Amino acid sequence: MKSKQYVYPAKFINEDNGTISVYFPDLEGCHTYDDTIEGASLMAKDALEGYIETILEMEKELPKPSKIQTIKSDDGFVMMVVADVLNMPAENKSVKKTLSIPKWLDREATKAHLNFSGILRNALIEHLKIG
C-alpha cells in the first residue's frame, strides 16, 4: 500500500483552564484539545487524519497548507502536523455516527471549540475500559 502524507500547520494555544487547544488555520472546523502537549499532539494528528479522510471521501479538494512562517501565535506555538491517511489501519478509520444533544450543550461546546468526535471517542474508551 502506498503512503500519502499531508502536512498542515497547527496552532497550539495554552487556555486559561489549563488545556491546550489545537487549531488548523487552513482547515475550517478542524480543532481539538488535551491537557498535555503530548496528548494535544496526538489528538492533533488524529483530528487532521479524520478531517482529511472525510474531505477525500466527499471528493472535495483540500486547501493548500500555509507556510508555518506566516502563522503567528502569541499565546502558544505553531507546529506542523503530519497525517498519513492511506496507511491508517482499517480498524482506525473513522465511521460516521449521528447523535443528539441538547441545543444549549451544543452551543456551549461549540463556543469552547471542543472536538466532539475526540471527546466521544475518549469517553467511550474510558467507559469500556479499553484504553
- Whether the Cβ atoms of residue 78 and residue 6 lie closer than 8 Å to each other: no
Query: Is it the case that residue 83 has pLDDT exceeding 80?
Result: yes
pTM: 0.67
CA 12-89-31 angle, 5° bins: 20
Q: What is the mean pLDDT of residues 24-50?
A: 92
Average pLDDT over residues 99-115: 86
* Cβ-contact 80, 13 below 8 angstroms: no
Give the pLDDT of residue 93. Answer: 66
Does residue 120 or residue 88 have the better pLDDT? Answer: 120
pLDDT the model gives residue 3:
58
What is the rounded distance in angstroms from the CA atom of residue 49 to the CA atom of residue 3? 13
pLDDT band, very low/low/confident/very high, at 1 (cuts 50, 70, 90): very low
